[in-house]
Amino acid sequence: MQAWVDPDKCQGHTLCAMRAPAIFELSDIDGHATALAGDLPASEHDAVREAAGSCPEQAITLS
């Protein structure tokens, strides 16, 4: 599983980092998120799905 945050959609709600702190990093400047690049560890998949489902802007794409 891979995750991608669309920077044009993300508004910095921070729900993703609340749900999967190991995967989503928030900018110190404006709180907008970036996802860890590459394949995500299986142990994080549930949390990442929850993060994507909790994003108010639906800015996170999973593949």
Partner 1 sequence: MTDMTDDIRKQKRFQFTRHSPTFRLEFESTAAEMQSRCPVAWSDTYGGHWVAASHEAIFDIARESEVLSNDHDVTNTKKGYHGISIPPAQSQYRGGFLEMDPPEQREYRQTLNTYLSPAAVNRWKPFVEALTRSCLDEVIESGRLDFVDDLANIVPAVLTLAMLGLPLKDWDIYCEPAHASVYTPPESPDFPRVMQGAMLMNQRLGEAVVEIREKPRPGMINALVNAEIVGATPPDHELIGVLTLLIGGGFDTTTALTAHSLEWLSEHPAERARLSAERDTLLDGATEEFLRFYTPAQGDGRTFSADCELAGTQFKEGERLWLSWAMANRDPSVFPNPNEIDFDRHNNRHTSFGLGIHRCIGSNMARMAFKTMLTQVLDRMPDFVTDPTGAAHYETVGVINGMQHLPATFTPGPRLGASFAETLELLQRACDEQRLAEPVTVRTASAKIG
Sites of contact with ligand SF4 (CB under 6 A):
5, 10-16, 24, 32-33, 55, 57, 59-60
| C-beta of residue 20 within 8 angstroms of C-beta of residue 41 | no
32 vs 45, which CB is nearer to ligand SF4? Answer: 32
Closer residue to partner 1 in complex, CB, 36/54: 54
- CA gap 31, 59 in Å, rounded: 14
Query: Which residues of this chain interact with partner 1, rule CB under 8 A?
Result: 9, 11-15, 17-18, 26-31, 50, 53-58
